[in-house]
Each structure stands twice: as structure tokens, then as C-alpha cells.
Structure 1
Amino acid sequence: MQVSLRLDSDCLRAFHLLLLQRLAALADVEVSVDARPAGSGIPGSIAALFQLETVIHGLPADGLAKRLPLSALAPFQTRTPVSLDLVLDLCGDVQVEGTRVWRVTYDGAGGEAALLASILDGRTPLARVEENGAVVAEGRLGTEYGGIALAAFQDMLARTASLILAAVTGAARGALPVLPEPMDGRGAPSLPSAGKLGVRAGKALARRVVQKIYHLCYNAPHWKVGWRETGGRDLFDLRAHPASGWQELPDDGSRFYADPFPILYQGQVTLFVEDYIHHLGRAIISAVPFGPSGPIGRPEPVLDLPYHLSYPFVFERDGQVWMVPESCANRTVDLYRATAFPGGWVKEATLLSDIVASDATLVEHGGSWWMFATVRDGEGTARDGGGAFSDALHLWSAPDFRGPWTPHPKNPVLIDIASARPAGRMVERGGQLLRPVQDCRRSYGGALGIARVTHLDLNGMDQRVETILTSGALWSGRKLHTLNEAGGLEFIDGSAIAPRWKQKRQP
């Protein structure tokens, strides 16, 4: 297939080169470049904002927004072939008779200026690949760096590349899950004026100073775990916070607990948590037994490795307890077995390697084992792309939870910052899977969704988001991002404030 990439020669970025390289690596695809001025670039005032953000936030200088000289296109054919099968239009100005043209849009408008306008307007950009107005592929782009325009821009460029590649290979989905809230009917935003960008830059600098002061006074981020007795009705039934609210698992302020995973084993509920130790800057996995009145003691370490661990996905199978903790800092997904429950964990297998996978969640369904996880393309450099940790859902299948695991042929099966990332175990109700998901549009872990999986096989995965829960009067703080239950006890987590001067030693 002969593919031409239309881009603005006045605004060549590392993103364009990465996209060209990935397209050229596809089987049976030959890529050429149509690089001409398009007037679709960004004004100098935004470039100045990018420079300021790079300095005050310590952002890498070799990200996907890095400007490149035209000579970087030398490895690619710059003369358009006589016969083209497809034009990928990143500028919105291509009109070719007799050739398919796919236009990339953000909230209905083309060009990188449209993406930046949505970011600066505080939106979750809806990216689409369109052919004559019909949607070929779409995704809700995300970032974990809200408020930092350059970081968000680079994350979303990376995911734009993912969306385009999925469309070219035929793996892309045509429609996103509908969310249980009114559609945003606003038109595409415009870029702010230089004056407004100056105000934004001033606020960014002031906000960074405030953040530095805050971190001197508080341990941040700081999470907390909530728990309750279900009385036979969990959040999958209630679809709202219980009127009785939640009790909190105490911590001493020098550490926090998050990602609660309970398991009922040999008649006892044991809660496993991410145990983040502030002065180490990383987490271990700890566990604490629970009774009807709450925790029996405090969480004690059960798995401590030289890198950050979280999301301790525990389950019982074949009379033994297994765990798949998140270890994306090690670029692996590993399986552990308890030899002296709740401790004595030994690694049984590396299920996936050389991958930045977040919150791997396993489920047995339809005669196969399935693994759900969001995947980041790399470390965020011009070489590997990066992107957000939370908006690209990948699946794997296996005959047994020990593997071997085979990637889904249509990965990523979903690009959606509102419903891609797992948020706990899936449960089966009425013959269908209900899936807790993280809604990270507002911020990482900002809200919890409940999605019904309506289709899951090697042809793809479809889900319908039925409920979105947020923090509020019955669960204080600004976040809510995990949901699990075992033995009649239900657990969630969210954000908390931890003043350094109030740290106390636990007995």
C-alpha cells in the first residue's frame, strides 16, 4: 500500500518522524512525505510557553514536540508516487480526486493548533481519523500532566500516532464507549491570544512555586483506603456511595496505602495494598487481616523489591494464592505465588516483558484467560514515543493464567482516557462482565467508572460505561480510583492530605 503523509514543512516535529518510522515498519506499506508550508503551526507565544514549562518542570528536551530540520526527512521519499492508495492529512488541506484521504482532527478541527487549543481550553480532546466525514477511528486522548501544556501535547501526539497506526492496520475501533453524561456540544476552541498565554505562563510559574512550598509542608501525593461492610449490596449494585459512608484505614503520614485488593482465603479476609513510603519514593506490597470491626493490626510488608510496586492483583487458583503486582518500573508483568500466606511470595513466571503496562487485571471468561492493562509506548522520548499511562487499553489471552500470553490482534483495543485503565477486579453479573475503570479526564484517578463488557473475543472488546462515581460528601478528597470486594467487605481508595508536622509513629 502506497501511503503519503501530508505535514507542514514549517513545523516538522519528532512526532512526524516517529510516525513515519512506524508506518514504514508495517508490512506491505510504502511511505512518502508531502511536506509543504501549510500555515497550521503554532504562534511564537506558545513556543515561549513550552520553553518556560521545560525549565520550571524539568521536562526532557527530546520529546515528541521537538522541532526538527527538513533534513530529518531524508530517509523517506519526498516525491509523491504516481499512484497513491491513501493520504494521511495532518494539515486539513488535501483534496485529491480518486485517492482515499484520511484527515486527522481534534474536536472537529485539523492541525496541531487544534490539539493545543483543546488542551489550553482544559478539554479532553476527541481525536478522529475521518474519511469524507465518516469516522475511521477515534479516541479520547489523555495525560497524567494536566496543567502542563507541553507534557500534555507530547502525550497526545504519541497517542495520535497509536490511533493512526491502528487505523492503517485495520485494528482501530470506529466508535468510543458512550459515557453516562451529556455530550459536550461546544465547537472547536481557538488558540488563546498572546496576552492570555502570558497570563497563563505567569500562573504556571506561580503554581509551580506553590507546589514547591506545598511539598515542603505536606507529603504528596498521599492516598487513603476506605472500607465498609456491604450488607449484601456492593457498589456494582448500589451505583452510588453508601449512605453510611466509608471508614478509613489509618496510616502514620510517612506512608500511604492505596490500590486495595482483599481476598477471602481459609475463612479470613486479608487486604493487600500498595504501601508507599515517602522518604523512599517508591512502594512495596503490604497486607493486613480484616475482621468485621476493621483491620487487625496494621499492614505489614510481604513483597519488597528494588523498584516500585503497586496494584497487588491477588487471586486464588488450584488451592494456592497468586499475585500479579504492577511493576511497570521494571518493564515487566510478573506472576508470584504465596508459599507462606500472606507472605512468602516467590516469582513463578514473567508473563510480559519489555513493556510499560499499568494495572494488569486478569479474568477467566469464555474458556480463556484474559489480561487487561493500559500500555505506555516508552519513556516519552522522540525515539520511543511515550504517551499517557492511562488511555491505551491492551488485551492478551492465554489458555492458563500462567501463560503463554498472546497479544490481542487489535491492540490497542481502546484509546480512551475516560474508561481504558483498569480499577479493580472484574465481576460477573447476569452472565456479563462488569469492569471497574478509571476515569482520568479530570486528573489521574479522578473518578471511578463501572463498565459493562458487551463483547470480548479475538475480534475485539466493547464496553458500555454505565456509572461514574466521584468523591464528595460521603468520600472526601479529590480522587477515587480502585474498587474491590471480598468476604462481604468492600474497599476503595482516594486522595488525602498528609501534613509533615503531623506524622506520627505507629505502635
Structure 2
Amino acid sequence: MNLPSPPFPNSRGNTSPLYAPVAPIADPLRIGLLVDGDHVPAWVARIVEQIGNSGFARIVVVVRNNERPRRLSLRARIRTRLRHFAWQQYYQRDSRRRRGPDSPFHARELRPLIGEVPWFEVRPKRRGFVHRIESADLERINATRPDLLLRFGFNILRGGILQLPRHGVWSYHHDDSAEYRGGPAMFWEIHEGNPLTGTVLQRLSEELDAGAVLYRSHAATHPHSLELNRAPAYWKASSFVMRCLRSLAAGEPLRETPPGRCDKPLYRTPGNLKMAHFLARTHLRKARRWVDDRLRVPHWHVAWRHTREPLDPGAPTLSNMRELPCPRGHFYADPMLHMHRDEPWLFVEDFDYRLGKGSLVALPWSDQGPAGDARPVLDLDVHLSYPFVFEWRGETWMVPESAAARRVSLYRARRFPDQWEYVCDLLHGHRAVDATLHEHNGRWYLFANICESGGGTYDELFLFHADTPLGPFMPHPCNPIVSDVRRARPAGRLFTHNGALIRPAQDCARGYGNALVFHRVEELDARHYHEQPLGRLAPEWAPGLDGCHTYARLGDIEVVDGKQPVWRRRVGA
């Protein structure tokens, strides 16, 4: 049944906080910047603005690299340009086509962002690719008493600058340093077909890429565009510094990890032959994809079974699954089971190919499976999916996904299952997906994947908690609790298996909803969260599948959704 839509203003002004508040401190953390010029990329500017607005950290010095540029001979310049001609053509064309107004790489002037802060011009000593800061310049920097330095310029730094601030020099490595050293950043993952692109924030040491890792995250690799591979990863990484600074300001230790050993040789800018092979493969892959997209569609369906031996999260397998039929021109996905007055119901997303959006429907269930036709549940102007239904205080409630509205909204059943009234927003101002509630030890927790700053919605899982499912929900101090495309995004309600609390998640490394990963929740309260991956359910439980992304169980009923490429004419897409 269609109901009036909740208030969905397209405004970022009233935004739910993603992080637990850090009280302003009398002596804020003193931050220094190491840069190459008066302008910085937009993703760096965002970090600087966050520091200035934090209340617990401030910029106290900017150290600008004043090294004279090395000028190669005319012959060397021509030789370099010819050797990397194909790379330059690919990079420039890709940037022109893909770089939009919200790119993290647009230059912004630094001085207006930091106010009256000392700027020091230094000319480092160079040896090969290594920079060392002169002792006189080190004294000037030390006089500003920085607690840490953020490196956004210079070459490889060694020497006294690394020991000068008490928290060291922090630097980004826009690749996973355990797999890729050198450059170009985030290109070789595409070239090699690696499904993962990593980003690391590390504390620098005398040995290259051997410093402690302060933050590490993994995203899915774009199959052919360097710009589209880099942009969301750089925006996402712009939050890493503030996450670490919050821990320092709150007096908590940083979650440092070893860097990992990279046994691969140092990567360099690809020559023309490597680029010729790469471009040939890329154009062939794009041509195949173009044809395939016009002939076939990734079609989701829901499968079910009754069993006395449910899936084991530690070694997940499925068999004897039966497909739930759906109307032509539609697909069903995101199955959720709910017991209403001792009768089981199956809620699903009903996606209409013609309209290009989903609504929610429910089917009554019996010992033999579906016990009637699908009944309309909720249909709004925005796309709806992931119908999370639960019981509380004798009433039935639902939290559907409405990410396009930048809201996580709560509904209450006026008449089950086809009349619902809007109650309130649990989160607002964020593109949150697959919101999943769970009550644990008398407290309510809300899990949701959120795109914080221009990254993707597959990578980072945020957690919130409240006294009741009505909120207000407060951000968990461990946010984000997962920053890994292989196991972040929720894939159904949490459940208990052999006494352990299990959280199902999606593995989106090779594409949206490629597989399911199950985790054992080992610690969950208002201050702590820890989970351990158990097992992975690949899309191999039925012929032709290439994805599965939601799992649910209720008594002896198990449901899961699956995706496979099918001919458009066959399903009416």
C-alpha cells in the first residue's frame, strides 16, 4: 500500500555524527604539515579542515619544500617521454573523461585553510630519492613543538625529522604496502587484475615502507579506469588521520599493526609494451561488457529450503535449494524472515525493471514453502530494499533501506503486513545501506555501511547504539568497526549458532554481493567491538551463479538470494 513519504529533505545540514565526541582539550595536539607548494589536492584540504574544526588538534607549522626542480637534459626528457608515451596518453585521457567537479585531486589553496601559522621554507639534502632536512631547519621546526608531522610532500624522508615529533611522521601509501611499492599508485592492481586496492596510513621509519601501520583499508579495484580506482579510495583515506587523532586526543593507544613484508620488486611507470598489452586487454574486456550489458542482466532471485541441519557458518554450504518464483519483469532479493503471531513471513525487495526501483513485498509461509501471493508492503518515491523487520514491545517494526533519501527510517505496522506508518529517522544525512538492528544484553545496536566522504558503500561498517530501537542512536567509539570491502557490508540479521553470535556480511571485492562471509562476534558492548571471520559462502550452491548477498534463517527455514546473468528477454528486463 502506498503511504505518504517521510520528510526526505535533500540537506546535509542536520547530519547524524559517525564518531563518538572527543571533548576539547586544554592543550590540543600540535600538527605540522610537510608540503611541496602553496596548493594541495582537495583530499588533503579536507584533512586540514577537519583538524581545524576538531577542537582537539590544530596546525602549528607548515614546512614547504623549496628544493630547486631537477632539470633533465633535452635528450633525457625526450627519451623518458617516448618510453612512457602510451602511459601518458592513457592517464591524460582517463583523467579528462572521468575527473568530475568533486574529484579529490582538484587543487586548493592551503593558506586560507590554516590562518596565521608559521611557514618554513626548507631546502632538503637530496641523495637519489631520499631527502634529509638540515639541522638548522630541524631546530626551527622543533621550536614549534609539533606532536606529529603529516607528510604530503617531499621525497623519501630519513634522518632527524623522523624522530623530532613525539608521535612521528605520518604518511599515506596509496596501495597496500604489503603488496605494492613504487608506482604509479593504484595502477598495478588494475594491470594485474587484483580485485583489492589497499590504502595505508603509516608512521615513517628509516627503512622504506617498514614503519608501523596506523590504518589500513581495502576497496574493490575498478576494472579499467585509474581515475575511478583512485578517487573513492583517496576520499575514503582522507578520514584516516582524524580517526587516529581522535584516539590520541582521547588518551587511547593507536591500533598499530606491522607493515607486512613485500617480496615483489619495486614497481615503476609502465613502458609502451606493457601499456599496449594492458590497453588491448582493457578494450577487449570493455567491448565484451558492452555487448553483455545489452543482451543480459544480473538477475537476482530468492531460494529457500526446510532443513534440520542449517548452514554451518564455519564451513558454509547449501544444497537442495528451491527457487522462489517472481513476476516477469521483476526480481526478488534481500530476503528477511519474520515470525508474526506464530506464523512465518518472508519479506523481500521487489525490483521492477521498467521503473528501475524496488519496493517491498511479503509472502506468507508454511511447511511447504510459500503459502500465498506476495502482498505489497511499502512503496515510496525512492528505491527501497533490505526490509529489516522485527518485533518489539508487542508491535512489528521495519527499517527498510532508503539510501537515496540519505536516511535510515523506522516504520511501525498499523496493519500487518500491508499498512505501515513512518515513525522517525534513526540516522540522517548519510548514504547508509543495509541497516541491521540487534538487541544484545538489553541494548540496541545498529550496523550500517556508510559512505563517509565520497568513497564507496561497500567498504566501511559503522556501528551505533541506543537504549531502544527508537533511538537516539549514538556512534560507537570503534567506528568504523570494519574497513574492508571483503567483509564489511551487512548481509542479513545477526543470529545465534551453537551458542555463538554470528554476523553475516558481503564480500564485494569482485563485485557487489559476490559472496557471503560469516563472522563470530566475540565482543559487543557500548565501548568495544570485535569479530572474527569464520567461513565464506561462494556463489556455488546453484548452477550459473555469480553472486549471493543476503542470508536468513527462522526455525527450520533457510533463505538466501543469488545472482546470475540471464538474457534480458527471458526475464522481461
Identify whether the pair has TM-score above 0.5, normalized to the shorter chain: yes
Helix, strand or coil for the counterpart of 1:307? coil
Is 1:113 aligned to residue 194 of structure 2? no
Is 1:368 aligned to residue 434 of structure 2? no
- The whole-number CA distance in structure 2 between the counterparts of 1:120 and 1:12 is 28
Moved more, 303-312 or 26-35: 26-35
Distance change (3 Å), C-alpha of 1:489 and 1:189: farther
Report the counterpart of residue 6 of structure 1 in structure 2.
34
Report the counterpart of residue 346 of structure 2 in structure 1.
271
- The whole-number CA distance in structure 1 between the counterparts of 2:91 and 2:482 is 29
Give the 5 Å matches for 1:317-336.
317-336=392-411
CA contact (8 A) 1:446 1:470 kept: yes
Report the counterpart of residue 164 of structure 2 in structure 1.
98
Distance change (3 Å), C-alpha of 1:175 and 1:334: farther
Is 1:228 aligned to residue 305 of structure 2? yes
Is 1:141 aligned to residue 203 of structure 2? no
Q: Unaligned 5+ residue runs, structure 2?
A: 1-28, 70-83, 121-140
CA contact (8 A) 2:62 2:118 kept: yes
Helix, strand or coil for the counterpart of 1:410? coil
1:2 positional shift: 2.0
Give the 5 Å matches for 1:154-233.
154-170=231-247, 174=255, 187=264, 190-191=267-268, 193-195=270-272, 196-218=274-296, 220-231=297-308, 233=309
Partner amino acid, structure 1, of 2:295: C
CA contact (8 A) 2:300 2:332 kept: yes
Report the counterpart of residue 66 of structure 1 in structure 2.
105
Partner amino acid, structure 2, of 1:107: D
> What percent identity do the matched residue pairs reach?
28
1:3 positional shift: 1.4
CA contact (8 A) 1:166 1:172 kept: no
Partner amino acid, structure 2, of 1:128: V
Helix, strand or coil for the counterpart of 2:149? strand
2:316 to 240, 260, 264: 240
- The whole-number CA distance in structure 2 between the counterparts of 1:145 and 1:341 is 43
Distance change (3 Å), C-alpha of 1:323 and 1:473: closer
Larger radius of gyration: 2
Report the counterpart of residue 487 of structure 2 in structure 1.
419
Distance change (3 Å), C-alpha of 1:142 and 1:7: farther
Give deviations 1:246-303, integer Å, cap 9, x for gaps. 1112234522111110112223221111111112111111111222333234433210
- The whole-number CA distance in structure 2 between the counterparts of 1:301 and 1:173 is 49
- The whole-number CA distance in structure 2 between the counterparts of 1:337 and 1:280 is 26
CA contact (8 A) 2:91 2:226 kept: yes
1:392 positional shift: 1.2
Distance change (3 Å), C-alpha of 1:11 and 1:151: farther
- The whole-number CA distance in structure 2 between the counterparts of 1:473 and 1:430 is 23
Moved more, 113-122 or 150-159: 113-122
Q: Unaligned 5+ residue runs, structure 1?
A: 177-182, 378-384
Helix, strand or coil for the counterpart of 1:221? strand
- The whole-number CA distance in structure 2 between the counterparts of 1:280 and 1:112 is 44
Give deviations 1:130-161, integer Å, cap 9, x for gaps. 33445353333214854433222111112211
Distance change (3 Å), C-alpha of 1:145 and 1:112: same
CA contact (8 A) 1:236 1:450 kept: no
- The whole-number CA distance in structure 1 between the counterparts of 2:89 and 2:45 is 23
- The whole-number CA distance in structure 1 between the counterparts of 2:462 and 2:451 is 10
Partner amino acid, structure 2, of 1:306: D
CA contact (8 A) 1:420 1:438 kept: yes
Count of aligned residue pairs for this structure pair: 484
- The whole-number CA distance in structure 1 between the counterparts of 2:497 and 2:508 is 25
Distance change (3 Å), C-alpha of 1:499 and 1:455: same
1:336 positional shift: 0.8
Distance change (3 Å), C-alpha of 1:192 and 1:113: closer
- The whole-number CA distance in structure 2 between the counterparts of 1:20 and 1:47 is 31
Report the counterpart of residue 389 of structure 1 in structure 2.
457
1:483 positional shift: 0.8
RMSD: 3.2
1:188 positional shift: 7.0
Report the counterpart of residue 86 of structure 1 in structure 2.
148
Give deviations 1:413-460, integer Å, cap 9, x for gaps. 221112211111111345542110111222221111110111222333
Report the counterpart of residue 359 of structure 1 in structure 2.
434
- The whole-number CA distance in structure 2 between the counterparts of 1:34 and 1:112 is 25
Is 1:75 aligned to residue 103 of structure 2? no
- The whole-number CA distance in structure 2 between the counterparts of 1:16 and 1:454 is 36
1:485 to 537, 550, 553: 553
Moved more, 453-462 or 302-311: 453-462
Give the 5 Å matches for 1:272-351.
272-351=347-426
CA contact (8 A) 2:182 2:266 kept: no
CA contact (8 A) 1:115 1:125 kept: yes
Partner amino acid, structure 1, of 2:364: P
Distance change (3 Å), C-alpha of 1:488 and 1:142: same
Partner amino acid, structure 2, of 1:299: A
- The whole-number CA distance in structure 2 between the counterparts of 1:472 and 1:134 is 40
Moved more, 74-83 or 356-365: 74-83
